[in-house]
Amino acid sequence: MKRKANYSEITMLICFFLGLTACFFAVYLSNVQLKYFTATVICIVCFCLISFIKNKYKLLNCLFILFALSVPINLDINFFYRVHEGGALGITISLSILLVFAIFFYALLNRETISSFEYDPKLLWPTVIYMASGILSLMNASCKELVFFELLRLTLLLFIAFIVMNIKGKKQIKAFVFFLCFGVLIQSVLAIIQYKTGKTLGLEIFGEEDLIKQFIGFKTLRATGTIGHPNILAYFFEILLPISFALFLTETKKWLRLYYFIIILAGGAGLITTLSRASWMVTVISFIFVFFTLYGKKLFQLKTAVFFFIISTLAIIPVFYAYPVVQKRLTHTDYGSGALRMKLNRATVSVIKQFPVTGVGMNNFAEVFQHLDKTGESKILKGAKNVVHNLYLLVWAEVGTIGFLSFLWIFISWFIKMKITAYRVPLEFKAIITGIAAGVMAHLIHGLLDPGFKASLPISTLIYTLIGVFGAISLFCKNSLEEQSLTTYKKIYNGI
């Protein structure tokens, strides 16, 4: 009886302290910004819901799904924040990063879910080398704290790739990609509503920004979704739509093929609402790449011809409605946008010539651009701290030739490994790999005209998430082959 009473008293004491803590926490939350209050409430609700899931493997899968859905939600908190362009703005903790840490600690506490963490060094080490070049660039950096902020962001991105690589099982990998693509559907619906109504949806707490006005012969607006600027939303679509297209071409289940077809139609409409001409063009290129990679040998079969005739007929309907906007956007004057980019490119080259080896400092370009420009063409920025609209020149100027080569190696090594792996895996994985390669390739082409993923944490998160997805596929197939080899060896040994 005494033992039971003591246990009861301890339980009451714990409940008392929990209640007291909740009271203090509630008072604190009442004074914070609405987005942080809402985020906390959502986290508490999600925690309560997932606590009902008793199966540890299912709970881990739910956390991965929540992470996949969180990528386009621009909900974060910043420490040491400063107004800045081209890289990390401070120490940023996003919803995606919090979920990744939740997955990591949950796996540590429940080691049976992920018995051992694995990673492919060939996919992670190029980024580490790039980070080392960032440390070298400190010698010329005028704002050393900005270098630190960017290095911390890259460290967190590597951690994201590492955790995603540890998705175990074929079904789990496919489910993760399924929900990544579902994000396209959500953002498309939001973007279409924004575009049609001409109003924001009151989702500022999730990262929604004001719609951007654009004149293309008539006044129109550019949608933002919840990911930020219209160009950032366009990046999101151009990277993930080729994956949806690849899965649509290869899925054997009819309901999944229909699902990805709906995503393609909705995502295409969402992409149009961003009015990003570069994204339109690179998405067409990526779709052609995916089609000929996966369907090239079947192109002249009657079944294929009939199938694509039906699909093309269905696709004509949205194209018909979108044509006036697309035609005006492509043919209307760009108000000197192209000329502006060329001037900034020349100005950036003049900066690179001054710091060819280690650059002006990682994440420092916007701070020193107009001071170091020898051509005088950066004056068109009118004193605003901005960056060149070219991903490669931006990186080259910041970390010099050494860092620039290591930056290129991140993607070159990735593409080489994807090409090798694609010939060794089942068609369902080959489709995902092909879609990832096409989407990232499209974004890198777009990088010739924009700063790309470097200027956006959600898109950087998406890029490194896809590195992780490919790593998970590579490790899964490698482990499967090893298991098959071991089984074969045992059979031979037992036979002997």
Ramachandran region, residue 141 (left: φ > 0; alpha: ψ -120 to 50; beta: rest) = beta
pLDDT tens-digit profile of 138-151?
A: 998 889 999 999 99
Q: What is the CA radius of gyration of the chain?
A: 25
Give the Å distances, CA to CA, from 374 to 82, 259, 341, 353, 391.
Answer: 27, 53, 16, 10, 20
Q: What is the pTM of this model?
A: 0.86
Q: What pLDDT does 23 receive?
A: 66
Whole-number Å distance between alpha carbons of 467 and 219? 40
Measure the CA angle with vertex 448, ends 457 and 192; round to 5°: 55
Q: What pLDDT does 336 receive?
A: 56
Strand partners, 76: 94
Whole-number Å distance between alpha carbons of 319 and 326? 9
Ramachandran region, residue 489 (left: φ > 0; alpha: ψ -120 to 50; beta: rest) = alpha
Q: What pLDDT does 43 receive?
A: 62
Whole-number Å distance between alpha carbons of 27 and 321? 51
pLDDT tens-digit profile of 181-219?
A: 999 999 999 999 999 998 888 888 787 888 888 877 778
Q: What pLDDT does 311 receive?
A: 66
> Where does the pLDDT of residue 380 fall: very low under 50, low under 70, confident under 90, or very high at 90 and above?
confident
% of the chain residues with pLDDT over 90: 45
Read off the pLDDT of each residue in 398-424 and give the average, rounded to a whole number: 93
Read off the pLDDT of each residue in 261-265 and give the average, rounded to a whole number: 93
Read off the pLDDT of each residue in 216-225 and give the average, rounded to a whole number: 83
* 184-188, 294-298, 427-431, 483-487: least confidently modelled range: 483-487
Q: State yes or no: pLDDT of 170 exceeds 50.
A: yes
Q: State yes or no: pLDDT of 442 exceeds 50.
A: yes
> Which candidate, 175, 263, 191, 182, places its Cα nearest to that of 224?
191
Q: What pLDDT does 489 receive?
A: 40
More confident residue, 329 or 253: 253
**Strand, coil or helix: what is 140?**
coil
Give the Å distances, CA to CA, from 260 to 8, 179, 431.
Answer: 54, 11, 13
More confident residue, 318 or 202: 202
Q: What pLDDT does 337 receive?
A: 67
- The H or E element that residue 219 is part of is strand 219-222
Q: State yes or no: pLDDT of 35 exceeds 60.
A: no
Q: State yes or no: pLDDT of 1 exceeds 50.
A: no
* 154-163, 334-343, 353-362, 425-434: least confidently modelled range: 334-343
Q: What pLDDT does 237 receive?
A: 96
Mean pLDDT of the chain: 83
Q: State yes or no: pLDDT of 394 exceeds 90.
A: yes
Q: State yes or no: pLDDT of 16 exceeds 60.
A: yes
Q: State yes or no: pLDDT of 483 exceeds 60.
A: no
Read off the pLDDT of each residue in 380-392 and give the average, rounded to a whole number: 84
> Where does the pLDDT of residue 492 fall: very low under 50, low under 70, confident under 90, or very high at 90 and above?
very low
Read off the pLDDT of each residue in 302-328 and give the average, rounded to a whole number: 66
> Where does the pLDDT of residue 176 fall: very low under 50, low under 70, confident under 90, or very high at 90 and above?
very high
CB 417 within 8 A of CB 124: no
Read off the pLDDT of each residue in 363-378 and give the average, rounded to a whole number: 87
More confident residue, 28 or 198: 198
**Strand, coil or helix: what is 425?**
coil
CB 318 within 8 A of CB 268: yes
Q: What pLDDT does 39 receive?
A: 59
Number of H helices, E strands in the chain: 16, 4
User: Tokens 């030739």 correspond to what residue?
Assistant: 401
Q: State yes or no: pLDDT of 99 exceeds 80.
A: yes
Q: What pLDDT does 204 receive?
A: 80
Around Cβ 355, how many Cβ atoms within 10 Å?
A: 21
> Which residue type occupies 483?
E
Domains of the chain, residue spans? 76-488
DSSP 87: S
Q: What pLDDT does 490 receive?
A: 45
Q: What pLDDT does 328 receive?
A: 64
Q: What pLDDT does 203 receive?
A: 80
Read off the pLDDT of each residue in 226-234 and give the average, rounded to a whole number: 90
Q: What pLDDT does 403 receive?
A: 93
> Where does the pLDDT of residue 486 fall: very low under 50, low under 70, confident under 90, or very high at 90 and above?
very low
Whole-number Å distance between alpha carbons of 218 and 203? 27
- Backbone angles phi and psi of 88, in degrees to 5: -65, 135
Residue 294, classified by CB atoms within 10 Å of its CB into exposed (0-12), middle (13-18) or buried (19+), is buried
Q: State yes or no: pLDDT of 482 exceeds 60.
A: no
